[in-house]
Amino acid sequence: MRRRGARGHGIHPPFVYRLNKDVLNCRKKYPEYNEIREFRNILLKNRERIKVDDHGAGSDIFSSDNRRVRDIVKYSSSSYRMGRLLFRLANHLQPETVLELGTSVGFGTFCLAKGAVGGKVYGLEGCGAQIGTALKGLGNAGIGNVDLIQGNFRDSLQELLDRIDKVDLVYFDGDHRKEAVLWQFGRCLEKVVPGTVFVAGDIHWSDGMQEAWDIICRHPAVTLSVDLFHCGLLFFRKGLSKQHFILGFK
């Protein structure tokens, strides 16, 4: 069943109402927002060129693999708005174990780490140059609750999942190919607990991503899905009737 609601009007299940009020459209002005903006601005001022080894679907914007950090942030990384949402989700859930598939130069990692202050953020990234930039930026910002892992997702994700007990929050924002997304979802599903939340980035980016999102939403393990256009949320909470919502976020 699909339900719409921009600010919570007409949203009946209490869980979804609270999610919308306390996370998606929370009115609180967190002091961390200034840190998030500053971290992103530092990256946007970085004119250093790095060689990007793209393991995903490729780019329609860049014609060369030699790219400025500032351009990667401007065109490929999460937006400031998306960064605030990632922070609010992590801050609300207080997850112990966070996975980020597609660390890039570390902006999303920073936002998740600032929210999950008592947890550990594992960032997976295939490009060594981007990992290096992320490590430098996160280090300068004093972020210590992260572990960045370089390698092909097919290898690094499975190796990581083999050594952790569960996943509380997963952000899929690396390989934007249908088959890759479905494989990542299937592997991470093995470590889901009742309170786990998946965040799928760019769900309408391509026909393939749209198809992957539709398939995932229909999966029996998913009890609640939320389409936020720029991303999607997936919940596995028992006791919720299977529903799909289309909402907005600040």
Span 128-151, pLDDT tens digits: 999 999 999 999 999 999 999 999
pTM above 0.85, yes or no: yes
The pLDDT of residue 12: 61
**Is residue 6's pLDDT more than 50?**
no
**Is residue 1's pLDDT more than 50?**
no
Inter-residue contact 205 to 133 (CB < 8 Å): no
Query: Phi-psi region for residue 104, left (φ > 0), alpha (ψ -120 to 50) or beta?
Result: left
Strands (E), the chain: 2-5, 49-51, 66-68, 97-101, 120-125, 146-150, 167-172, 192-201, 224-227, 231-235, 243-247
Pick the closest to residue 58 from 227, 208, 186 (CA basis).
208
CATH of the domain at 33: 3.40.50.150
Q: Among 17-31, 177-191, 232-246, where is mean pLDDT lowest?
A: 232-246
Q: What share of the chain in percent tops pLDDT 90? A: 83
For 81-124, the pLDDT digits (tens) are: 999 999 999 999 999 999 999 999 999 999 999 999 999 999 99
The pLDDT of residue 150: 95
Banded pLDDT at 76 (limits 50, 70, 90) = confident
* Average pLDDT taken over every residue of the chain: 91
Banded pLDDT at 11 (limits 50, 70, 90) = low
Kindly state the greatest CA–CA separation across the chain: 50
Range of the domain at 168: 2-247
Residues 6+ apart with CB under 8 A from 45: 70
**Is residue 182's pLDDT more than 70?**
yes
Tell me how many domains the chain contains. Answer: 1
The pLDDT of residue 240: 78
